[in-house]
Amino acid sequence: MITEDIIKALNELGFEWEDTRKSLEERIDDLKAYKYGHVRVPLKLDKSLGHFCEHMRAARRGKGNGFVITDDRSKALDNLGFIWDC
């Protein structure tokens, strides 16, 4: 847990706080940048993007832990050649 003292010390050092979580649209952009004729992302190549792909597949199967993928987002992934069944 980060205490108020640690936050204060980091602020005094000029630490820049940013949200490292990405939106679904940003992750789709990451897939576009990754695409090498396919968008099958091995975890050992890009762990974060690989996990994102796993979460999208789980969401489409209805096992997304509350996350539901919309038709528009599903189509955006389809347009990239996303592989749903691996």
Query: Residue ranges per domain, the chain?
Result: 19-79
Q: What is the mean pLDDT of residues 37-60?
A: 84
pLDDT score at 70: 85
Angle between helices 47-60 and 24-34 (to 10 degrees): 120
Virtual CA dihedral for 65, 29, 41, 57, nearest 10 degrees? 30
Gap between the Cα atoms of 6 and 27, Å rounded = 31
Mean pLDDT of the chain: 81
pLDDT score at 20: 63
Gap between the Cα atoms of 85 and 82, Å rounded = 9
Segment 59-86, tens digit of pLDDT: 888 887 777 788 888 898 998 888 898 7
Query: Taking the CB of residue 47, how many other CB atoms lie within 10 A of it?
Result: 11
